[in-house]
Structure 1
Amino acid sequence: MATHHDNVKQQFGEQANAYLTSKVHAQGPDLEYLANLLIPHSEASLLDMGCGAGHVSFIAAKYVKHVTAYDLSNEMLSVVAQTAKERGLQNITVKQGYAEYPPFADNQFDIVVSRYSAHHWHDVGKSIRQLHRITKAGGKLIIMDVVSPGHPVLDIWLQTVEALRDTSHVRDYTPGEWLTFLTEAGFVINNIARHRLTLSFDTWVKRMRTPEPLIEAIRIYQETAADDTKSYFELQADGSFTTDMMIIETEKVI
């Protein structure tokens, strides 16, 4: 019987190279934010949690002492390792495993970063508690992910198009849900930044190899959305839309 983790492995393993070249993943104000944040941490050990094709790892490797790129997909990790070698980034190592069971020691990392990964995790609460365990006291956890606007109408629209496009999607959490996960795990919130992220429909579905019947279902669902929903997501005629993403910077104080 296939599990959710199996779905994630299949979805992303088959598309590893597509994520390496994806503009959405390879650039953005969140990566600029991260680079600036890491400048004073040249001796840090950093975990890229759910590293995907490694864009956070490649940025971080320029600023910190060592990066561990961690992901469920061995294919993604192969892309990260090969790209790091090609770019001469010798301070990146890769490790395979589940978000809920990171095989690391207590208080191992100075900084943990997760970007565009957590909405695929089977149990976010458990994963965040594990990240608290492996982060040093005084260390940072930085979450970067798409978030739901929170209003039920807007929330169900976003979750529906996400799930139709990608069967490994679990949930784009609201900012309030994120604050609950993080504070209940023991992190203190230091900073929150919101950005708008525009998704080109054609590349968005091609990157995940969404089957044509589900692409058609997304288009029909978009067409039947209420005008205020279309306005919030800046829905375009070709199906492209804009959603919210947040950077949440936290600290482990004890």
Structure 2
Amino acid sequence: MSRQFMSIAMRLRSSAGFCFSQSTFGTIPNIAPPSKRKTPSLNIRTSKRPMRTRRQYGRRWISETFVTMTAPARVHQGEPHREVDRAVSGIRPAQEQFGRVAEAYVDSPNHAQGADLDRVVELAIAHGGERVVDVGTGVAHTLRRVAPAFRAAVGIDATREMLEAGRGVLERARVPGASLVQADATALPIASGSIDVVTSRLASHHFADAAGAFREIARILRPGGLFVLVDNFTPEGAEVDAFINDLERLRDASHVRSHTVRGWRHLAEAAGLRTSIDSETSVTKLDVDSWLARSQTPKDRADAVRHRLRDASPAVVRAFDVTATSFSVHKLILLGRK
């Protein structure tokens, strides 16, 4: 056990009531509320072998799943919220982008509400089960809505600042039992076959490796589990596909790709999921100025975005209902079953 880790361990123990125990797999941070009532604890082992934690009572806790630390992660634990500082290697474009603008997403109407969010909640609750994970949770708007219906609810995101803002969202909504974990979507710190429902809303187009993320989602789902994806899609056609993806990247360098409906289905099916489309008709009208302000797009790039919209071809204008001040994006809700 390194001196640095010992220092962190002792500081955490003295400040937050953490207890540390030794096992053949290394030191295990045992995170538990100080309350005397029986509540589950979160045990994290640094080996790659899954560990079943001791079953205890409680309404909602990540420790009731199998937990495997497949990559370093920062844990923001619910009721009360706490942190275990673990380094997350690498600074990705999405982390840089969303680290700067996290607070803007707390009150963003396109993220905090919407018919697509209502539908995700309906689908998750209708499927049922005990455990739900929201991948690319951002500031936890989806987690806020689905968590009360499940015994264990976890939101995972790569960006610390988004999770910190999400913690405030959960606290204001009085959802204290949900947990927030910093981890990459391609290395989810959840063991195989342990989750009933996975949701991901308006995040996958930022994944550097969407195929790898979908494989991870399929891995953690139990047999019969449900994946609910909400994301933007581009209509068929090379011109409109290139236009919207180039425009998104010009506005926000963390954008990777919005796929066609067929493209999203292919990614999920390649991961081993049986897919169906719940809805592909949702259209969101975006005000260009607000859209650019939310991402804090530099002026030269914002000017270039407006220029491209003004010069859009007739095919692009029809596909995205382009006007001088707005355009529309298409959303789909895809279901993947294991």
Tell me, in whole angstroms, the C-alpha distance in 1 between the residues paired with 2:291 and 2:110. 9
Aligned partner of 1:199 in structure 2 is: 286
Aligned partner of 2:140 in structure 1 is: 54
SS in 2 for 1:102: coil
Is the contact made by 1:7 and 1:167 (CA closer than 8 Å) also made in structure 2?
yes
Amino acid at match of 1:208: S
Could you say if the C-alpha distance between residues 11 and 113 of structure 1 is closer, same or farther in structure 2, counting changes exceeding 3 Å? same
Amino acid at match of 2:194: Q
Tell me, in whole angstroms, the C-alpha distance in 2 between the residues paired with 1:221 and 1:191. 31
Is the contact made by 1:68 and 1:93 (CA closer than 8 Å) also made in structure 2?
yes
Is the contact made by 1:69 and 1:95 (CA closer than 8 Å) also made in structure 2?
yes
Q: How much has 1:4 moved relative to structure 2?
A: 8.7
Aligned partner of 1:227 in structure 2 is: 314
Is the contact made by 1:38 and 1:64 (CA closer than 8 Å) also made in structure 2?
no
Is the contact made by 1:106 and 1:134 (CA closer than 8 Å) also made in structure 2?
yes
Aligned partner of 1:105 in structure 2 is: 191
TM-score (norm 1): 0.93
Could you say if the C-alpha distance between residues 40 and 178 of structure 1 is closer, same or farther in structure 2, counting changes exceeding 3 Å? closer
Tell me, in whole angstroms, the C-alpha distance in 1 between the residues paired with 2:113 and 2:172. 19
Q: Deviations over 1:137-162 (max 9, x none)?
A: 11000110001112111111101110
Tell me, in whole angstroms, the C-alpha distance in 2 between the residues paired with 1:65 and 1:156. 43
Contiguous gaps of at least 5 residues in structure 2:
1-88
Tell me, in whole angstroms, the C-alpha distance in 2 between the residues paired with 1:9 and 1:163. 15
Q: Deviations over 1:47-93 (max 9, x none)?
A: 11000111100110232222101000111111112221222112210
Aligned partner of 1:16 in structure 2 is: 102
SS in 1 for 2:226: strand
SS in 2 for 1:89: coil
The structure showing larger relative contact order (alpha-carbon pairs under 8 Å, at least 6 residues apart) is 1
Is the contact made by 1:5 and 1:122 (CA closer than 8 Å) also made in structure 2?
no
Matched residues, percent identical? 29
Q: How much has 1:128 moved relative to structure 2?
A: 0.6
Aligned partner of 2:222 in structure 1 is: 136
Amino acid at match of 1:168: S
How much is the aligned-residue C-alpha RMSD, in angstroms? 1.6
Q: How much has 1:228 moved relative to structure 2?
A: 2.5
TM-score (norm 2): 0.71
Number of aligned residue pairs: give it. Answer: 249
Q: Deviations over 1:144-182 (max 9, x none)?
A: 000111211111110111010000110001111111111
Amino acid at match of 1:111: V
Amino acid at match of 1:192: D
Tell me, in whole angstroms, the C-alpha distance in 2 between the residues paired with 1:179 and 1:18. 30
